Chain A
């Protein structure tokens, strides 16, 4: 069954350091996509990065990179050089070929000055 798991309810990181947010998934569909979203305290959902199941290279978008380990079914988000504005909830999500898009429970990231 399609499943997404984020095991870190909360994380702290020092400003300017890198942080990794964990995400594991389960699916029997060979075609799927993995997404990360940011939700600041204002509530909107902001798309960060996407990785397709057939992509050979890890996705990168500015300070965000996705560490995709297909055999381990993990899709961890790495944020480099953390900024105070990175403090937010972060959600991992997966969509299978049939279109169903589900989310993990989220990780609350706090960046310390």
Chain B
């Protein structure tokens, strides 16, 4: 089982460029999440989804958009990257009441 797979694992963007991070899970989980991790800030929730076709804002949604067109995939988009979006991004998925499984993370640098 692959579990939760994030693509890409590393990326360097120039300010103003756009990109999409892909999260794919093969566990038939209903819930999916996107977080960013910055030093001293823990994991902060960007957006989440409780089912195919649904999305909701988390704690720090500004500057990001998401889509969940298929149950197994959750896409995170940056329309116009800013240096403040330099971070490590984690995707996670879970059944409704059980623990979340995490991807390996994507290290994004915006210069």
Contacts and interface: CB of A to CB of B under 8 A. Distances in A.
Interface of A: 6, 9, 33, 35, 43-45, 47, 50, 52, 91, 93, 98-106
Q: Give 8 nearest A-B pairs by CB, closest first.
A: A45-B102, A105-B42, A99-B50, A103-B43, A47-B99, A106-B42, A103-B42, A99-B31
Contacts, number: 54
B44 to A, nearest CB: 8
B100 interface: yes
Interface string B88-111: 101010101111111011000000
Q: How large is the interface on B (under 10, 10 to 19, 20 to 34, 35 or more residues)?
A: 20 to 34
Interface of B: 31, 33, 35, 40-45, 48, 50, 56, 58-59, 88, 90, 92, 94, 96-102, 104-105
Contacts of A52: 97
Contacts of A101: 31, 33, 45, 48, 92, 94, 100
A102 B96 contact: no
A98 B49 CA distance: 10
B111 to A, nearest CB: 22
Nearest to B41: A105
Nearest to A49: B99
